[in-house]
Chain A
Amino acid sequence: MTQVDILVLGAGPAGMAAATEARARGFSVLVLDENARPGGQVHRAVEQREAKDGQDRDGAKLAAAFRACGADYRPNATLWAVEPEGKVFWSEGGAARSARARRLILCAGATERPVPIPGWTLPGVMTVGAAQIALKTAGLLPEGKAWIAGQGPLLWLYANQVVAKGGRVEGIVDLSPPGGLARAAWHLPNALRAPEYLVKGLAWQQRIRNAGIPIRRATRLVAEGDGRLERIVIDGWSRSAELLLLHDGVVPNTQVTRAIPGCAHDWDAAQRCWKPRLDDWGNTTVEGVMVAGDSGGIGGARVAALAGRLAAIEAARALGKLTADQRNAEAGRIRLEWKRQRAPRRFLDALFPPLPEAAIADSTIVCRCEEVTAGKLRGAVALGCLGANQTKAFTRAGMGPCQGRICGPAVHGVIATARGVDPATVDPFRTRFPTKPLTLGELAALAAE
């Protein structure tokens, strides 16, 4: 079993920044990342692409510093267990590996919130994030009858990236609940502390209009087809479609932290998601386990990179390299910028509240792996099911290979609305190690380690 000072999970902005900062302070650092190259989702393939905007330049800088920092970087490595005293297990090249670390900094990023509309399981229906990955890693543009639907900043960003590369979509179906601006106005003064976010957002929408792409507001969207997507129905208006890209914001990826015994999570009413309970430095309620970036609460790439640095500085204090006063002094300017970059978040949360789970039709599949409908979940609630974990026994929801990664927020929301209670009082899926499927062959390799 390898011994290291600090193990970082994830090579997105938070992970790259945390590893670089920790290396600069003389620690041995091991970085595990599921992807082939550093960058995470937001800076996917950033080393291969020409930098097109500030975000690309941020990512390229982070990746270059990370590559040069001397961390033991393991791409294509999937973590599947964290045990007490910093023991970590992962799979790499078809074999399981383990390490013991004095500090863990988990930077698992975010996943897109599910958009369970009728027909969303049909081949040809994907997420906007998925299409963006296809664009960033292989230059794929949507072609033919392609539609984008949902809400949130990523939707507009992706549409802009498509237009900028000479691509086109048939239209954008804006499902955002009406009254967003009125709700969000209260948070506007605070959001203007980092006005670049709002300026960017308005420019994105304008460019789509200038490109002549129709934007249609709607409340109900259905995907239809025999075995694959053939058309979409927008508030009763049928249109042929071969690609439908859905988006409804992102939620913290808490798959690993929820599986760690004693790691407390809280319901965030503004972002409508669960997130690990963290102090200002990223410490969880488990000694030695830290979280940085979107997996601790959605803040975006810049916030994530700053949080990664703060976590590494705090780890330096915990491991005896800095006193608390030295830590505070070194973190000062990073902390100020971290606060400024977080300022627009409440505005964005109010502008794009997640689509209501109560509106999911009974016949719509929520858990894609086990093909469990919203109606079945509501039926379980009628029989006395109180939370997501009990639903597993009632319906098998969340028990397929994705382990609730995709459906988790929707299952939780459907149960809370069916029960008519505060979502904070409804338990989310408890996750278990291994948090990713593992073959016996992979596991057996541990014996030879």
Chain B
Amino acid sequence: MFRRTEPTDCTIRWEGRDIPARAGESLAVALLAAGVAAFRQTPVTGAERGPLCLMGACFDCLVELDGQQNVQACLAPVRPGMVAAMQRGARHFDLAEDAA
């Protein structure tokens, strides 16, 4: 899909695996560079989606980032070691988490 022309300097976790990235670039760009096409599953039909606009408008790059849901990956700067996963459907409440 894409290839990098500049070096990476850290790794981040995506869906349980390590992905090379560069601190400060957007999470969305780091994922695209690693060949990740699908970032979320829609709440309506569960279809997989990836980023369309990369500028904060389309909301198709929503992910779960360090435990926070519905984060726009294109507006989230990479920090070494950050942990991200697909946003699956609408934002949901975890009862166990609420009780804690």
Contacts and interface: CB of A to CB of B under 8 A. Distances in A.
Contacts of B56: 34, 78
Given A130-B55, A406-B52, A406-B58, A121 B47 contact: yes
Q: Is the interface of B mostly helix, strand, loop or mixed?
A: loop
Interface residues of B, number: 39
Interface in A110-147: 111-112, 121, 123-127, 129-131, 133-134, 137-144, 146
Contact of B47 (A34, A142, A371, A402): A371
Interface residues of A, number: 46
A36 interface: yes
Contact of B2 (A121, A141, A229): A141
Given A34-B75, A124-B50, A140 B2 contact: yes
B29 A137 contact: yes
Interface in B1-48: 1-6, 22, 24-26, 29-30, 32-33, 37-39, 42, 44-45, 47-48
Contacts of B29: 133-134, 137-138, 140
Contacts of B5: 139-141, 165-166
B2 A134 contact: yes
B59 A369 contact: yes
Contacts of B59: 369, 400-402
B60 interface: yes
B55 A368 contact: no
Interface in A274-313: none
A123 B5 CA distance: 22
Interface in B63-91: 70, 74-75, 77
Contacts of B51: 126, 130
A129 B24 contact: no
B49 A123 contact: yes
Contacts of A327: none
Contact of B48 (A78, A123, A437): A123
A368 B58 contact: yes
A435 B4 CA distance: 34
Contacts of A165: 5
Contacts of B47: 121, 227, 371
A406 B47 CA distance: 18
A139 B6 contact: yes
B57 A243 contact: no
A160 interface: no
B29 to A, nearest CB: 5
Interface of B: 1-6, 22, 24-26, 29-30, 32-33, 37-39, 42, 44-45, 47-60, 62, 70, 74-75, 77
5 contacts: A36-B77, A123-B50, A126-B51, A140-B32, A143-B3
